[in-house]
Structure 1
Amino acid sequence: MLFMVIFALTNDIKQIEYQDRYCILRAYIGYVTCPAYNYSFLLQSIYRYLTVVHPNRPFWQSVKFQILSLMSIWIFCFIYPFVFLFKNEIIYIVDNQICQIPLQGSFYMLYLTSNAYVIPISLVIFTYIKLIRYVRQMSKRVVSANTLSRARKELQMVRRIVILVMILVFVCLPYEIFTIMSLFTNAPKYDFRIAYLFVDLSYALVMICLFQFTEPVKTYIMKKLKRPTDIIDVARIG
């Protein structure tokens, strides 16, 4: 998404208003990577859920199962946009300087938003709710302290995933609004410029949150940042 924004800005500066040879390819890559990003959160949620609910089924927690799941998601993400290419739905939009499916309330737009956005995010939230209910039921039953502690830890991890997803939902609100508007009226002239700016912002916020949530990475980076300062202080003392 950031690459598309930079490309559009470059075309604005150079006053280029025509489609280049890689325009549709960039759109296709965007339609592949965006849902792959969202489905990655879903895979993490499902893994946490299976770890708690089905701890005695090691295959579902194995590396082999994780690889198969990742491969399935990527295959789906590569295949589902083919219909846009075959039907020539991706066109060059001069006002936004990018190739996209126009926001016109068409079947293809609904197909795109459902597969890339609505389905993965809805399933993440559904998984979180199911896990909450299961952990609450566990706390009412006689289970070992270690089992309950592990379940609550996994629930905390899924809760963090939901927080990341909610960031995507709220910061990407302009894109959602423009998509809904397209069902009834014309979207603003620079709809994709505005929407993708907020999408890129959401990705940046997600990365910041991941940094905060991942304690080992946070500790490692903070140590790296402090080391030059310590060296300078030692040099001054010497």
Structure 2
Amino acid sequence: MLCLFIIIYDKTCHTVPMMLVANSCLSAILFGTIIFSIRLYTLKNDWKTIVYKDSFCSFRGYIGYAACSIQNFSYLLQSIYRYIIVIYPNRLFFQSIRFQLFLISCTWIFGFIYPIAFLFTDQIIYNINNQICQLPLQLSFSVIFIASWAYIIPVSLTMFIYFNLLRYVKEISKRVISVNRLSRVKRELKMVRRIVVLVMILFTLCFPYTMFIFLSFFTDPPKYHFRIAYIFIDVSFLFVIIALFQSTDPLKKSVMNKINKRPNRILPTVA
């Protein structure tokens, strides 16, 4: 929330790249809020030994899937923007605020629509052992569909863009081009590399969840698989937010300027 407020109120952050960062911050707020709500619900049920779901349990599961996909696609949008700047620098329409807002709107609309069928068909069910409402992990179209759109597709496309940019930089480095253009391309590649770091944090710390999904195709997952998986998801969320701030230079610069800002002192003149 602090990062989002800084982007909104600091005019130096009113750029297209920072708008995409703000989208990541907003999706992180949504994801963090629903994760916090799920944790409170689990704690309350454990404390009071409640073994039935409340009226919002399935809805929290649905919002969790939506928020996860929106957050991961927000990093993909940042990568796509950097890719357009490097590969198609003259396509100004695709770099415009209007087009980027269109892409952001599409990811939010799609994020809320694609898992809604599982909510209304009662496929998001209450797991007593883990005190959570989720799709049951098993070999099914629903699990594969959710895992693909919330995690596999955005992460894979982000990595694909990075490796394509890396190959492009190696190719143009062998050509005779202007120093300014080569420097700009390398700068954009560096920004995409920072986004990949975020994605790799997600990939590494969300691996237990992926592993439990894979195991469920062949056997029953451990009794407390959701509790174990969500511990790693919580940790990954914390590190991703830290990495997002650390990798956004305008955001860090704005914060440091406010911290280091000193009031001007008016010294009395000597007659």
Q: Is residue 2:92 matched to residue 1:58?
A: yes
Q: Is residue 2:161 matched to residue 1:130?
A: no
Tell me which moved more, 156-165 or 7-16.
Answer: 7-16
Residue 113 of structure 1 corresponds to 147
Mapped partners of 1:193, 1:92: distance in 2: 13
Q: Is residue 2:210 matched to residue 1:210?
A: no
Q: Is the 8 A contact 1:5 1:197 kept in 2?
A: no
Greater RCO, 1 or 2 (C-alpha within 8 Å, sep 6+): 1
Map 1:170-181 onto structure 2 (within 5 A): 170-181=204-215
The percent identity for this pair of structures is 52
Q: Is residue 2:193 matched to residue 1:159?
A: yes
Task: Note the residue ranges of structure 2 that are not aligned, 5 or more in a row.
Answer: 1-34, 264-271
Residue 39 of structure 1 corresponds to 73
Q: Deviations over 1:150-179 (max 9, x none)?
A: 100000000011111000011111101101
Q: Is the 8 A contact 1:5 1:196 kept in 2?
A: no
Q: Is the 8 A contact 1:2 1:200 kept in 2?
A: no
Q: Is the 8 A contact 2:158 2:196 kept in 1?
A: yes
Q: Is the 8 A contact 2:59 2:119 kept in 1?
A: no
Which residue type is aligned with residue 206 of structure 1?
A: V
Residue 8 of structure 1 corresponds to 42
Residue 222 of structure 2 corresponds to 188
Mapped partners of 1:14, 1:144: distance in 2: 68
Mapped partners of 2:258, 2:94: distance in 1: 37
Residue 114 of structure 2 corresponds to 80
Which residue type is aligned with residue 46 of structure 2?
A: D
Mapped partners of 2:125, 2:80: distance in 1: 36
RMSD: 1.7
Mapped partners of 2:202, 2:211: distance in 1: 14
Tell me the SS of whatever aligns to 1:92: strand
Mapped partners of 1:2, 1:153: distance in 2: 36
Instruction: Report the alpha carbon displacement of residue 87 of structure 1 after superposing the two structures with TM.
Output: 2.6
Instruction: Report the alpha carbon displacement of residue 219 of structure 1 after superposing the two structures with TM.
Output: 4.3
Tell me which moved more, 203-212 or 166-175.
Answer: 203-212
Instruction: Report the alpha carbon displacement of residue 225 of structure 1 after superposing the two structures with TM.
Output: 5.8
